[in-house]
Amino acid sequence: MRTEKEPKMQYIEDHFVRLGSQREKILKAILEVDKDGIQISGSEGQLIKVLARMIGAQKMVEIGTLLGFSTTWLLEAAGPQGRVWSFEKMSEHHRIASEILKAEIEEQRLSLHLGDALEQLPKIEHEGPFDLIFIDANKAAYMEYFHWAHKNLRPGGLLIADNTFLFGMVYQEEAPTNHAKAAKVMKEFNKTLGEHPDYDAILIPTSEGMTIGLKKYATSN
């Protein structure tokens, strides 16, 4: 959960983050649905945007739209020729995101899909391989998202995953029983990326932890 910002994080937000009216609208809507704490911060959005631009990402997949805040940073990185496919399980969130990002959908720069990503993702495989895949959905499904991403990411592509500290549970021996499955999966997710011969990976210590894996050009598969 993202709560009060530490002074150093506030400093970064103040100096490197430009929101604009569309993101302000999403920030207002996120308070109305009471999901403020589960949305990425502006500085995390800016980080994702910079990373996406560094690899010239044009085709991007997002697993977990929420209200579209993270989506806006991907769209900005993609530019007018790029495309983003984003997946959201909650119909109310999908509806609000579709409303706020209506122009991008009409311009065919964005496709918002409603439903469980693991069921929906096969439908866009023919659009791939993708340059960037951002994972920010069901924490217990991160390994399954990884397997899909690994198959559908181009060589040199970037995998980014939010919440990879799993609220501190990945570096604790025993996770609370109600999070046992997600903790086990997240530990395996980080271990897999950290050891994978096909990725240069690192966990960036944002407040929630953001693991990134840059797929190598010459891979083992």
Residues that bind ligand DHB (CB under 6 A): 1, 37-38, 136, 162-163, 208
Query: Distance (Å, rounded) from C-alpha 129 to C-alpha 132?
Result: 9
Q: Footprint of Mg ion on residues 113-152 (CB under 5 A)?
A: 136
In 10 A of CB 93, how many CB atoms? 21
Min dist. Cβ of residue 26 to Mg ion (A): 15
Nearest in space to 98 (alpha carbons), one of 65, 125, 74: 65
Out of 45, 162, 189, 198, which residue is the one contacting Mg ion (CB under 5 A)?
162
User: Interacting stretch for Mg ion, rule CB under 5 A, among 66-74, 90-98, 109-117, 156-164?
Assistant: 156-164
- 36 secondary structure, DSSP code: G
Q: Which is nearer to ligand DHB, 192 or 206 (CB)?
A: 206
Q: Is the dihedral of CA 166, 167, 172, 173 positive or negative?
A: negative
Least separation in angstroms between residue 89's CB and ligand DHB is 12
Comparison of 100 and 135: residue with beta carbon closer to ligand DHB: 135
Site string for Mg ion, 79-118 (x = CB under 5 A): ----------------------------------------
Q: Tokens at residue 111, please? A: 């496709």
Select the residue whose beta carbon is closest to ligand DHB and give its number: 1
Residue placing its CB nearer to Mg ion in the complex, 152 or 163: 163
Q: Which is nearer to ligand DHB, 42 or 82 (CB)?
A: 42
Least CB distance to ligand DHB at residue 81 (A): 29
**Cα–Cα separations (whole angstroms), residue 134 to 84, 150, 163:** 10, 12, 11
Residue 37's nearest CA partner among 17, 66, 14, 63 is: 66
Q: Positive or negative CA dihedral for 153, 51, 34, 6?
A: positive
Handedness of CA 142, 143, 144, 146 (dihedral sign): positive
Binding site for Mg ion (CB under 5 A): 136, 162-163
